[in-house]
Structure 1
Amino acid sequence: MRTGKETVPEMKMTSAKANKMLRNLNDEHSKIVNMEKKESSFLAVMGEDPETVRPAYDYEAVQSELEEIEGKVRTLKHAIFDFNMNTVVPEFGMTIDEMLIYIPQLSRRLSRLETLAMMIPKERECSIRSNIVDYRYANFDIEKASADYSHTRELLSKAQMALDKLNNSVEFEVDL
């Protein structure tokens, strides 16, 4: 916990670097928690001196280290959140936060359009229930669906590249 007396230097980093640092902090936190599970208790055989098999474990030091990491995670996540909420992707006129919603929407649209674009105008279907042959007809313009699929694929690619460019080039400050 910060007391206000400490002076913490601000670091400049990109979103990509901040996210990598966040993954590393979470990995380190998990490693410490897993070690704590192993070292916070131990077994000794009856008659054995427990001090001879006691693992090295410092409860207060471990808790302090975990709290420090958790504080850094909060700070980083907040800085990333702030960056995402306030940084506009110029090509789209949306904030990064909006783009993080828009890109999955485009992906789902692309998947739907792919199914429609691959349909054939008239397809024969055989029914198990009878010997009657049915035909399934496309109820839309398949060429339009195909064109929309191509457009959406290009738009998705452009959106991903624009977001990657910002995440790897624009820096923001983080007080770690």
Structure 2
Amino acid sequence: MKKMTSAQAAKELKRLNELHSALLDKEQKSAVFTAAIQEDIELARPEYSYSEMQAELQNIEKQVISLKHSINQFNLSYVISGFDMTIDQMLVYIPQLTARKKKLERMAARLPKERVNSSFSHSSNFIEYIHSNYDVTAAKKDLDETSALLAEAQMALDLANTTVEFDVEI
């Protein structure tokens, strides 16, 4: 049993996945080989043990399963202070806030009344305008509030991920 933060666990998970990929590459290169008919086949044979390679790959896979399970359990159970949400809920909430912020940025950037240039032609005397059907000032206020809430949520999640430890069996 070992204690880790989410940030540490994520780095360990990345290391294990990279090690697994490297072993698969090594296996692909050494599991079969080509030798010329006049070559001594034993001199051409790369170092490879099928049983050792399978055991090593399975060991890493078990560690990945255990580590991901520990991370998931932590994400399901740890409640972020000030938000009354677990980490897995925050991982849904933050993208929602991000999407809301992007939408509000577009809405807040509008003028209450904007001239449409593309339909203006020399043969027409009509000038068209796009009118915002909402209070642009309210959109700007909501943007500021959403931006602040998003930053606060990200900081709270970062704090939990870098300081709160949980048990990992690897």
Amino acid at match of 2:132: A
Q: Corresponding residue for 2:131?
A: 137
Q: CA deviation at 1:126?
A: 2.9
Tell whether 2:160 aligns with 1:166.
yes
Mapped partners of 1:128, 1:42: distance in 2: 69
The within-5 A match list for 1:48-63 is: 48-63=39-54
Q: Corresponding residue for 1:98?
A: 89
Q: Corresponding residue for 2:169?
A: 175
CA RMSD across the alignment? 1.3
How many residue pairs are counted as aligned between the two chains? 167
Once the two structures are superposed, what CA deviation does each residue of 1:12-38 show, in whole Å capped at 9, x if it has no partner? Answer: 111111111001000100110111111
The within-5 A match list for 1:65-84 is: 65-84=56-75
**Tell me, what secondary structure is at the counterpart of 2:42?**
helix
Mapped partners of 2:46, 2:119: distance in 1: 69
Amino acid at match of 1:119: R
Q: Corresponding residue for 1:29?
A: 20
Once the two structures are superposed, what CA deviation does each residue of 1:99-122 show, in whole Å capped at 9, x if it has no partner? Answer: 000001100111000000001111
Runs ≥4 in structure 1, deviation > 6 angstroms? none
Q: Corresponding residue for 2:150?
A: 156
Once the two structures are superposed, what CA deviation does each residue of 1:116-173 show, in whole Å capped at 9, x if it has no partner? Answer: 0001111111345964432111110001001111111110000000011111111111
TM-score by length of 2: 0.94
- Cα contact 2:80–2:160 (8 A) shared by 1: yes
- Cα contact 1:88–1:96 (8 A) shared by 2: yes
- Cα contact 2:120–2:128 (8 A) shared by 1: no
Amino acid at match of 1:120: L
Once the two structures are superposed, what CA deviation does each residue of 1:31-84 show, in whole Å capped at 9, x if it has no partner? Answer: 101111111111112322222111111111111011000000000000000000
Between the two proteins, what is the percent identity of the paired residues?
46
TM-score by length of 1: 0.91
> Where in structure 1 are there 5+ consecutive unaligned residues?
1-9
**Tell me, what secondary structure is at the counterpart of 1:98?**
helix
Identify if the C-alpha distance between structure 1 residues 36 and 126 changes in structure 2 by more than 3 Å, giving closer, same or farther: same
Q: Corresponding residue for 1:17?
A: 8
